[in-house]
Structure 1
Amino acid sequence: MDDDILELIPDEVTEPAERAGTWTVAVIDDDPAVHEGTRYALAGYTLDGRSLDILSAYSAAEARALLSQRRDVAVLLLDVVMESDDAGLQLIDFVRRELRDETVRIILRTGQPGQAPERRVIVDYDINDYKAKTELTADKLFTSLTAALRAYHQLKRLDETRRGLEIIIDAAPMLLDHKSMQRLAEGMLTQVASLLNVDCAGILVLRENDETDERFCVLTGSGVYHHYVARHPAWPLDPDVHPIVERTFTERRHSFGERASTLYMRTSSGSEIVALIDADRSLSDTDRALIDLFTSRLSIAFDNVILYEQLQRANIGLEQRVVERTAELIRANRRLAMQRSDLRRANGLKTEILGTVAHDLKNPLSVILGRTEMLADMTGMSPVPVEQMRVQTDHVRTSAKRLTAMIDSLMADAMNDALDISLRREPVDLAGLAREVCEANRPLADTKGQSLSADLPEEVWLCGDAERLREAIDNLISNAIKYSFTGGAIRVEVRREAQETLCAVSDQGPGLSPEDAGRVFGRFQRLSAKPTGGEGSTGLGLSIVKRIAELHGGRATAESAGPGEGATFAIRFPNIAVELV
């Protein structure tokens, strides 16, 4: 008998912790016949498609060791009197208090009811049924065991639900705190494994809210899918994974298999997430209900991350726009500062030109006023001094011409600076213009005893504005007359060179110092040389010449061997202007 007991215990204890499709029942009794009878009575027993896995222990001490190792026992068929009169009752306390197992169902069987009265035992000990061995027939054993197993199954589901809800509640704040999509995905896989209480591998795939785009973004992977972590998010899915994920996106619902399950989530922002989970067991109804609840809460967490990432991108874009706008404002401020500086200079130039104009206009006006007063006095003389009056009249006429010339120069400069200035392009005979201007200025040269000669070909044509070119040539010749000494020679020349066509005016005047040569064409420039006949100067003539030359695509030049050596002023036009004629 003892040998039989020793053979049974090792075989039962060393069985796997849980066999799929079985109910684990432990028979704890010191009578081997009870074990054999129980096995015989329950032979072929099944409930919900699951058979029995019956374990045996022949003392309370053996039962303690067995129950400490096997935590999957659903029902205990427990004897009261074994190595002591209350060994079974003490074992009940061990299970409930030390092992803290409240789901296992305990059916107390005793052959000596007097030692453990039913009412006292039911009240004092957490058991689920009390039977005398004499009344526990095969049918009653079947009934009691079935009721106990159903109660155990319901309690296990409640316990799993409670544990799952605790995990979901505990996980919610942590998942909502994630600000990275990848970290949230990793946290979800970890929580799913904890929720199911199994080792599982998984992969999370995101599809943005564009249903026409079949490209998937892998957020994370674990277990056999861990290699996706090192890949680029847009890397294609493996051939064995892609159809499963694509089907779930199409069906838009969870799918549970024997080992692999796919979970579908859709966020309020329109993004879709599929999780492929490989577990080491099939998922129970409780597992599926918990998964459904868990994923419904996860959509909020994913939405939070999506919105956070969108906000981050918006912030980056806003910061970039702020930087760009700040740079634009800095550039605008610089432009304003430059314009303010230009305005200051313009205001200074305005003051200068007003002073210059006032000074230059005052002199001839004073002459005119003085001469007219003398004429008025002469008209009262008898006889009237006609010759003297003619002289005074000539002085008035000369001063009036100077005023007219100065006003014409100011008006020309004002028009030249207008923003809408335009040239009238037409064929122009430059040599003919120079000839006309020479003849118009010859009386002024004769007045100062100067010789004005012209070396002009018959015709030199170019495309330009005849009036503006006439104005430029007139300024060059009148300048030469104004600054040349009495009796000096002035020469006007028009010629065509290899690259340019030019009109040059040479004089024997005071020439140009190096300082004057650098600013001779500037506006309102007063050079060291002074008009030799007391003429006025606005400092605008040569700047007008330069502007007219540039408007025609050409340039103005000044050459001088030095002070006292005379100078040559010219306007030069590229021969392309000539070819356009």
Structure 2
Amino acid sequence: MDDEIFLLPDDITDPPARAGAWTIAVVDDDPAVHEGTRYALAGYELDGRGLEILSAYSAAEARLLLAARPDVAVVFLDVVMESDDAGLRLVGDIRRELGNETVRIILRTGQPGQAPERRVIVDYDINDYKAKTELTADKLFTSLTAALRAYQQLKRLDETRRGLEIILDAAPMLLDHKSMQRLAEGVLTQVASLLNVECAGILVLRENDATDERFCVLAGSGCYGHYVGRNPAWPLDPDVHPVVERAFAERTHSFGDHWSTLYMHTASGSEIVALIDADRSLSDTDRSLIDLLTTRLSIAFDNVILYEKLQRANVELEQRVLERTAELIRANRRLDLQRSNLRRANNLKTEILGTVAHDLKNPLSVILGRSEMLSDMLAIETVPKAQMGVQVEAVRTAAKRLIGMIDTLMADAMNDALDITLRREPLDLAALAGEVCEANRPLAETKGQSLRFATQEAVYVCGDSERLREAIDNLVSNAIKYSFIDSAIEVSVRDEGTEIICAVTDQGPGLSPEDASRLFGRFQRLSAKPTGGEGSTGLGLSIVRRIVELHGGRTEAHSAGMGSGATFLMRFPKISVGLI
């Protein structure tokens, strides 16, 4: 080149590149231009940042350099190198093929006529056009500073645009999250993408209620991933703890060289701190984008918190519905049971009324008829005392039968009471059965029946003597009532080791299979009929079963068939009745 503008020392060395330095490229086929540019810009500094100067000696070499180093801020480009328009074609390649719109290009030429300035400025996207003869050290400083300022502004605009695109793309995805953990993981990913740096971090949630403050690490990335799932009381290590705690206390963003903390407060009252550990300090553009992102994140976190509350409310509501449904089912079952009991009670009432109407009518009719006969006899002048005595005896007998039936009905009502209690005491069941036999012997003798008590030795049980007497009496009186005239009835009490058995055997009409199936039911009419015209309520055997069950025993009846008699048994387990 004919027009050198720099005086160079014999030995030029590049200053070491510093972290955060501006990167510029000198593209020229003349080595002296590279050396002169380095010399002129030695010690250059802008905004506390020095220069890293790269060199390329042809357009082809520069194309490879710029493709490998997209962080180049300014290019000093010679027009004429391997061809007259090599520099201009490189400008087109940088803008179109490499797609680099932010790098500032200062065109330098030693032959301005070959590349007229006006046409070049209009046709090519360059920052400045200088002839090498006019590019003194001061002019070089001025042009570089202006280019770096323009580059810085373009980078901020580009970062802002890219950040806004990331925020717009992330917003639907973040707002769509229904899980707090998934949302937190997405936030860390989007913050790293927004800042365009490799960074690690954690998100900490603080939920405030009336009695407690609870902390929870929602997500962690990089070296902070192990915090997730720790003890929720305060899951952070001592070096991280004060940083996050200060962010909650100050309730604002904080940006530092190593750590930055982002604070978010949701409308639902929850607070969230994101701690970001990046490999560089955040720029003003980064901080503005962070502010914008966090406003959107508050809405996203509120959505998740409200969704989770809604889910919990739905679960609680479903549980309450299930509990209420189960309660209604139980209530319906109780109502069904009560309705069934009422139906049975109504049927029982009908049976009782039928029994009372049928069985009590006969003795009442006898009493009424005999009373009319007595009235007629009293109208006779000479009262027939003997005949009147017969009628009075018939009235007395009918009244006794009526009283007996009423006593039976009352005994059944008492046995059916839910709060019935037994007065247990040691007693000789054999002696009790013997007393019942002696009381019923005159009734048996009136029908020509022999009533034999076969037990001689004492057999002790623990029970209610009046109730047991009633049960034995019902079996003995039934045997007399249904046995044939001149037949034999036998009563026995025996100890069979594990059980005490009281048995009453008659020589009556026996039991049919139909009788055996409903023998101990209430108000049951059996196929056999009383042999002396006695009345029956159909309650005697049911009373016997109830008394025996109250003593922990069971009742049985055996018969070889119709006309073969029957044996009725009361079995008492020794352990239940408390034998002594």
Do the structures match in fold with TM over 0.5?
A: yes
Q: Which residue of 2 aligns with 1:469?
A: 468
What aligned pairs does 1:182-201 form with structure 2 within 5 A after superposition?
A: 183-198=182-197
Aligned-partner Cα distance in 1 for 2:243–2:477: 95
Aligned-partner Cα distance in 1 for 2:20–2:217: 39
Letter in 2 for 1:573: F
* Most deviating of 407-416 and 486-495: 486-495
TM-aligned CA distance change 1:219 to 1:54, over 3 Å: closer
1:569 aligns to 2:568 (yes or no)? yes
Aligned-partner Cα distance in 1 for 2:101–2:228: 47
* Most deviating of 403-412 and 313-322: 313-322
TM-aligned CA distance change 1:428 to 1:269, over 3 Å: farther
Deviations along 1:518-544, whole A, 9 cap, x unmatched?
332121222221111111111111111
1:395 aligns to 2:383 (yes or no)? no
Aligned-partner Cα distance in 1 for 2:153–2:546: 103
TM-aligned CA distance change 1:274 to 1:505, over 3 Å: same
Q: Which residue of 2 aligns with 1:480?
A: 479
Q: Which residue of 2 aligns with 1:500?
A: 499
Deviations along 1:273-295, whole A, 9 cap, x unmatched?
78777766665564466456545
> Secondary structure of the equivalent of 1:47?
coil
Q: Which residue of 1 aligns with 2:178?
A: 179
Asked if the contact 2:200–2:220 (Cα under 8 Å) also holds between the matched residues in 1, the reply is no
What aligned pairs does 1:139-158 form with structure 2 within 5 A after superposition?
A: 139-158=138-157
Deviations along 1:24-80, whole A, 9 cap, x unmatched?
212345655433321211123333453322234566676556545542221233456
Q: Which residue of 2 aligns with 1:7?
A: none
Q: Which residue of 1 aligns with 2:515?
A: 516
Q: Which residue of 2 aligns with 1:418?
A: 417
TM-score (norm 1): 0.78
* Most deviating of 316-325 and 113-122: 113-122
Aligned-partner Cα distance in 2 for 1:353–1:219: 78
Q: Which residue of 2 aligns with 1:532?
A: 531
Q: Which residue of 2 aligns with 1:553?
A: 552
What aligned pairs does 1:163-562 form with structure 2 within 5 A after superposition?
A: 163-181=162-180, 183-198=182-197, 234=229, 250-252=245-247, 284=283, 286-287=285-286, 290-291=289-290, 294=293, 297-298=296-297, 300-309=299-308, 311-312=310-311, 314-316=313-315, 318-319=317-318, 322-323=321-322, 326=325, 329-330=328-329, 333-334=332-333, 336-337=335-336, 339-455=338-454, 457=456, 460-562=459-561
> Secondary structure of the equivalent of 2:138?
helix
Asked if the contact 1:209–1:269 (Cα under 8 Å) also holds between the matched residues in 2, the reply is no
Aligned-partner Cα distance in 1 for 2:456–2:283: 113
Aligned-partner Cα distance in 2 for 1:245–1:209: 21
Shift of 1:404: 1.1
* Most deviating of 405-414 and 464-473: 464-473
What aligned pairs does 1:69-148 form with structure 2 within 5 A after superposition?
A: 69-78=68-77, 95=94, 100-109=99-108, 127-129=126-128, 131=130, 133-148=132-147
Q: Work out the percentage of aligned pairs sharing the same amino acid.
A: 77
Deviations along 1:234-273, whole A, 9 cap, x unmatched?
489xxxx966665655555788887887878777778787
Aligned-partner Cα distance in 1 for 2:263–2:240: 9
Deviations along 1:462-498, whole A, 9 cap, x unmatched?
4333332232222122212211222233333344442
Aligned-partner Cα distance in 2 for 1:464–1:497: 18
* Most deviating of 133-142 and 168-177: 133-142
Letter in 2 for 1:526: R
Aligned-partner Cα distance in 1 for 2:188–2:520: 82
Letter in 2 for 1:470: R
Shift of 1:379: 2.0
Q: Which runs of 5+ in 1 are unaligned?
A: 2-17
Asked if the contact 1:485–1:508 (Cα under 8 Å) also holds between the matched residues in 2, the reply is yes
> Secondary structure of the equivalent of 1:449?
coil
What aligned pairs does 1:39-78 form with structure 2 within 5 A after superposition?
A: 39-57=38-56, 63=62, 66-78=65-77
Root-mean-square deviation (CA), in Å? 4.4
Asked if the contact 1:215–1:234 (Cα under 8 Å) also holds between the matched residues in 2, the reply is no
* Most deviating of 191-200 and 110-119: 110-119
Asked if the contact 2:436–2:472 (Cα under 8 Å) also holds between the matched residues in 1, the reply is yes
Aligned-partner Cα distance in 2 for 1:277–1:422: 80
Asked if the contact 1:248–1:274 (Cα under 8 Å) also holds between the matched residues in 2, the reply is no
Asked if the contact 1:264–1:273 (Cα under 8 Å) also holds between the matched residues in 2, the reply is yes
Shift of 1:183: 3.9
> Secondary structure of the equivalent of 1:27?
strand
TM-aligned CA distance change 1:478 to 1:248, over 3 Å: farther
* Most deviating of 357-366 and 463-472: 463-472
* Most deviating of 116-125 and 421-430: 116-125
Q: Which residue of 1 aligns with 2:10?
A: none
> Secondary structure of the equivalent of 1:161?
helix
Letter in 1 for 2:41: L
Deviations along 1:184-240, whole A, 9 cap, x unmatched?
355334423422334566777889889999997785757x899x8xxx97489xxxx
Asked if the contact 1:178–1:305 (Cα under 8 Å) also holds between the matched residues in 2, the reply is yes
Asked if the contact 2:428–2:461 (Cα under 8 Å) also holds between the matched residues in 1, the reply is yes
Letter in 2 for 1:350: K
> Secondary structure of the equivalent of 1:535?
coil
Q: Which residue of 2 aligns with 1:5?
A: none
* Most deviating of 283-292 and 512-521: 283-292
Q: Which residue of 1 aligns with 2:7?
A: none
Shift of 1:297: 4.0
* Most deviating of 443-452 and 468-477: 443-452
> Secondary structure of the equivalent of 1:50?
coil
Aligned-partner Cα distance in 1 for 2:176–2:257: 33
Aligned-partner Cα distance in 2 for 1:156–1:215: 39
Deviations along 1:115-146, whole A, 9 cap, x unmatched?
88888877886554555544433234224323
Aligned-partner Cα distance in 2 for 1:333–1:292: 61
* Most deviating of 264-273 and 437-446: 264-273
TM-aligned CA distance change 1:559 to 1:66, over 3 Å: closer
Shift of 1:567: 2.6
TM-aligned CA distance change 1:77 to 1:188, over 3 Å: same
TM-aligned CA distance change 1:321 to 1:181, over 3 Å: same
Asked if the contact 1:457–1:495 (Cα under 8 Å) also holds between the matched residues in 2, the reply is no
Matched residue pairs, number?
A: 558
Asked if the contact 2:184–2:218 (Cα under 8 Å) also holds between the matched residues in 1, the reply is no
Shift of 1:545: 0.9
Letter in 1 for 2:135: L
TM-aligned CA distance change 1:431 to 1:194, over 3 Å: same
Letter in 2 for 1:451: S
Aligned-partner Cα distance in 2 for 1:248–1:44: 38
Asked if the contact 1:462–1:577 (Cα under 8 Å) also holds between the matched residues in 2, the reply is no
Q: Which residue of 2 aligns with 1:10?
A: none
Shift of 1:455: 4.4
Letter in 1 for 2:147: A
Aligned-partner Cα distance in 2 for 1:94–1:188: 38
> Secondary structure of the equivalent of 1:46?
coil
TM-aligned CA distance change 1:524 to 1:151, over 3 Å: same
Aligned-partner Cα distance in 2 for 1:126–1:358: 123
Aligned-partner Cα distance in 1 for 2:67–2:388: 146
